[in-house]
Amino acid sequence: MTTSGFPPNQLLQMLDAADFDLLRPHLATVEMVRESVLGEAGAALRYVYFPHGGSISITLGLSEGQMIEIAMLGRDSVVGSGAALADGIAPADAVVLFPGTASMLEIAAFRTIAAASVPFRNLMVRHEQVLLAHAQQSLLCNTLHPVEARLARWLLRARDLSDSAILPLTQETLAQMMGVRRNAISLVAHALQRAGIIRYTRGQIEIIDLRALETTSCDCHSAVKATHSRLLGALR
């Protein structure tokens, strides 16, 4: 809990005290272990998660085994709220990418509180609009932009959620998240390292020049941040 009594999740901190008090008795703090599955596409969800830190990758997969990330969620988000408000079935996989903690509550309690609190329900609906913007922008980016710009965008989002310039990542993980071949990631990562923008060692990427990384990125990162600010910033 923060000094104000609210967990360090930005959505929960947007609630007033009365609405948060509806949630408080039902919340449990859990560890999100790297590579643990919080939701599986087509399966019933049991819990909704409000991350305090770390990040969760929301991915879609094909029967051939291919997959691609459609959004990366963290302390500015909630995992599973859309499914909880609908039929309780996860529309995509949710896998912990960077470890952290989260506030967790059962779907039944989430639904009861959403029915009782209009501000809470509206906040969840707005978040789903932000998540849709992430997915739409990701589709646009993956279709139109070169791997270098896409990698820069991805690293910027990861840095936003981790508050760290050092990211525990392998090239294989990046390739899976972005839906490209590993050698494409390798070539781009080496180019960014030669330019002094990142430093890559086995299993770790360090952002050296943030301004240059922002310049390398496409506009997709800033576009999603603007949508997030428009839909949720006024509620803060």
SS3 content of the chain, % helix, strand, coil (to 5): 50, 20, 30
Q: Consecutive sets of 10 residues in the chain, 236 residues long: mean pLDDT of each?
A: 74 94 96 95 96 94 78 95 94 94 96 95 94 90 91 94 88 87 92 94 91 94 90 68
Establish how many alpha carbons lie within 13 A of residue 65's alpha carbon, considering only the half-sphere containing its beta carbon: 0
Helix (H, G, I), strand (E, B) or coil at 45: coil
Look at residue 235 in the predicted model and tell me its pLDDT.
Answer: 55
Q: pLDDT tens across 91-113, in order? A: 999 999 999 999 999 999 999 99
Token pair, residue 96, equals 């912990």
In CATH terms, are 12-119 and 146-217 the same topology?
A: no
pLDDT for the residue 213: 95
Q: Quick one: fold of 146-217?
A: Arc Repressor Mutant, subunit A (1.10.10)
CA distance 173 to 179: 10
Query: pTM above 0.85?
Result: yes
| CATH, domain range 12-119 | 2.60.120.10
